[in-house]
Amino acid sequence: MSQPGQNITLDAPLEKIPVHLRGGTIIASQTPGNTTKQTRLNPWSFIAALDKNNQASGELYMDDGVSLEPEDTDFVTFSFANSTLTTHATGSYVDNNSLQNITIAGIKSSEDGYEEWKGWKGVSVTHGGNKVDCQGVKIGSAQNGVVRVQGLDVASVFTRDLVLKLQ
């Protein structure tokens, strides 16, 4: 991570697309397929880049991707604060894909004077108020300020509100 006013040279070969996230943002992504239709069947991942207040937020608009004037749409908001990720969706479009991975960047260790990274060992998830089984979930260490939560299986993640608490 760079500091304000600092110039950094990045290796960006032609076959790679460098993506930069401003601190304070969350994006949703899907593993690419060979076609847009195939991509839309893949599970979701969230990437959160924390700001100086250790928070992030984002939005996602979804529709069927085919209709010129879609009848069913969905608008999803994301937020991360106090070790908790929340999502809220409004609309009638139904996406049945699951949430599998979350990456949180910008974590500072307690040696840096920031207590957000507390050595998270587990996660609790509620989806529409119902507890989700998190047996196979793995949480990586905060190497280089990045924590990865892998192995989630939250089906139809945008059909109900989600609360994911890192513990």
- Mapping DSSP onto H, E and C, the string for 11-71 reads CCCCCCCCCCCCCCEEEEEECCCCCHHHHCCCCEEEEEECCCCCCEEEEEEECCCCCCCCC
Among 26-30, 33-37, 138-142, name the most confident range: 26-30
Q: Which fold has domain 25-166?
A: Immunoglobulin-like (2.60.40)
* Amino acid 87: pLDDT: 95
* Amino acid 73: pLDDT: 95
* Amino acid 20: pLDDT: 86
Whether the model pTM is above 0.75: yes
**pLDDT tens by residue, 91-128:** 999 999 999 998 888 876 555 444 455 566 778 889 99
